[in-house]
Amino acid sequence: MPSVISTDVLIVGAGVAGLWLNARLRRQGFSTVLVENASLGGGQSVKSQGIIHGGAKYALHGALTGASEAIADMPRRWREALAGNGELDLSGVRLLSEAHYLWSPGTLAGNLTSFFASKAVRGRVDQVKGDQLPPALQDKRFKGKVYRLAELVVDVPSLIQRLADLAGDGLLAGQTIEPLLEAGVLVGLKVDGREIRAQRIVLSAGAGTARLLDDLGLSQPAMQRRPLHMIIAKGPSLKPLYAHCLGGGTKPRITVTTHPAADGNWVWYLGGDIAESDGVAREPAEQIATAQKELGQLLPWIDLSQVQWATLRVDRAEPLQTGLSRPDNAFLAEQGRLLVGWPTKLALAPDFADRVIAALERDAIQPQPAEPLPALPKPPMSVPAWEQLLP
Ligand SMILES: Cc1cc2nc3c(=O)[nH]c(=O)nc-3n(C[C@H](O)[C@H](O)[C@H](O)COP(=O)(O)OP(=O)(O)OC[C@H]3O[C@@H](n4cnc5c(N)ncnc54)[C@H](O)[C@@H]3O)c2cc1C
């Protein structure tokens, strides 16, 4: 029978939310165990585009209110962590781009008046031209306007690796999770039969959280899934581009990020409106044809003849939203020792950790003397989608 473990905080789900929280808690002297049933970061996190939003995207449709500052502060907090002098030491994590760009093809700039007037972007957006343009847009046929946003793009696989290193001996590969009850009160979890007692239990299992709540006999907080159908392109002619391409609506027509493939090529990862409702309804071949047509119109100078294509279906997992909910904060709900939430964005992992830590402080939870952990089976690292789909 495996040994019983006592820890301060038991976390389930090792995506960016669980890993970031785990590293913050360990840095504050708490003992932790972080359970993962598949691979580290392999849920939504490693399938994300890695943009550390500061809220500019929401300002396009006016959803970012002056009262919600959490997301506006994320680029600074990530920048400090990446420089090794922030709330976590993420030095060594690869930064893919110092900036994300807003690219308005043709003459759409007129639609941006309210965007430039909004608090989220005021003083933080500069127009760029000539050799300051992203490499993929440096062509004499390029006619649009490009603005540099103070938002970063991180290489998520290297982020996950660093956060896994910061987790030390606390990672646990575990499949079956059952409640550990004492007099009807949840005091921990049984993971593959091993009892883990904890002062607090955090569920940060992304799309898996609904099922976990079900297993614990709970129905709240309710979760929603938002399906996406992303496009992946790899080829020797693709140059770095990190940009929201505007289409006149309230959402970017396409959001392009560029990622290094193991074979030395760049991968373009395409999201935005193209990957949402109509894109979700398209079959993969149709979705690829749509992307080829869009890129052919927007960037006719880029030779796509050697490019390999794939698509990836993935759901965003979020708290069930009402028309009034704000997209720019992490979400955390509490029931006794159990804390349950979703960061709602990779960029908001620090905000998710803040909320858990604030709940611990409010309840005067202190690190308790802990026995060293036994050797635990470790979950594997995740593999980026393009290495699986376009090896
Ligand atoms: C295509 C796409 C692009 C995105 N782009 C961006 C972006 O550019 N910028 C941004 O800020 N956000 C972006 N997001 C959102 C962002 O990826 C997510 O909000 C964030 O990664 C969620 O992190 P998480 O840790 O909550 O969930 P996940 O990364 O999904 O991690 C949850 C983990 O829990 C594990 N798990 C599930 N069930 C169990 C169980 N029963 N037991 C143990 N473990 C379990 C899973 O295996 C997984 O590893 C994007 C999302 C998608 C889908």
DSSP string covering 40-79, please? Answer: BTTTTGGGS--EE--SHHHHTTT---TT--TGGGHHHHHH
Averaged pLDDT, 206-230:
95
- Domains observed in the chain: 5-45+159-224+321-384 (3.50.50.60), 93-153+225-316 (3.30.9.10)
Ligand 1 pocket mutation pick from 172, 214, 346 by most atoms within 8 angstroms of CB: 346
User: Whose CA is closest to atom 15 on ligand 1?
Assistant: 345
Averaged pLDDT, 309-337:
86
What pLDDT band is residue 246 in, cutting at 50, 70 and 90?
confident
Closest CA to 176 of 193, 188, 197: 193
Distance in Å, CA 140 to ligand 1 centroid = 39
Rg, Å, the chain Cα set: 22
Nearest 10 degrees: CA dihedral of 332, 334, 337, 343? -10
Averaged pLDDT, 358-371:
96
Cα-Cα end-to-end distance for the chain = 41
CA distances from 160 to 41, 44, 157, 372 (A): 6, 12, 5, 24
> Is the pLDDT at 149 greater than 50, yes or no?
yes
Averaged pLDDT, 26-30:
97
Give the count of beta carbons closer than 10 Å to the beta carbon of residue 351. Answer: 23
Averaged pLDDT, 26-51:
98
For the ranges 10-19, 103-112, 142-151, 213-222, the maximum mean pLDDT occurs at 10-19
pLDDT of residue 133: 95
> Is the pLDDT at 369 greater than 90, yes or no?
yes
> Is the pLDDT at 200 greater than 70, yes or no?
yes
Helix (H) or strand (E) holding 292: helix 284-298
Averaged pLDDT, 318-342:
84
What are the beta bridge partners of residue 331? 342
Q: Which two tokens stand for residue 375?
A: 């050797």
Distance in Å, CA 284 to ligand 1 centroid = 22
Give pairs for 77-85: CB < 8 Å, separation 24+.
77/350, 78/52, 78/152, 78/154, 78/347, 78/350, 79/152, 81/350, 82/152, 82/154
Strand order in the sheet with 308-319: 125-128, 145-149, 100-104, 243-246, 252-260, 266-271, 223-235, 308-319
Please report where in the chains the tokens 């500061």 appear, as a residue.
Answer: 54
What are the beta bridge partners of residue 188? 180, 197
Q: Where are the alpha helices (DSSP H) in 91-216?
A: 113-117, 156-166, 209-215
Please report where in the chains the tokens 């004499």 appear, as a residue.
Answer: 140
pTM of the complete model: 0.95
Distance in Å, CA 253 to ligand 1 centroid = 23
pLDDT of residue 145: 87
pLDDT digits (tens, 9 = 90+) for 156-180: 999 999 999 999 999 999 999 999 9
CA distances from 65 to 124, 168, 200 (A): 16, 39, 32
What pLDDT band is residue 329 in, cutting at 50, 70 and 90?
confident
> Is the pLDDT at 58 greater than 80, yes or no?
no
Please give the mean pLDDT across all residues of the chain.
91
Distance in Å, CA 24 to ligand 1 centroid = 18
The residues lining ligand 1, judged by C-beta closer than 6 Å to any ligand atom, are: 12-18, 35-38, 42-45, 47-51, 53, 177, 204-208, 212, 228, 230, 271, 314, 316, 342-347
Contact 200, 365 (CB under 8 A): yes
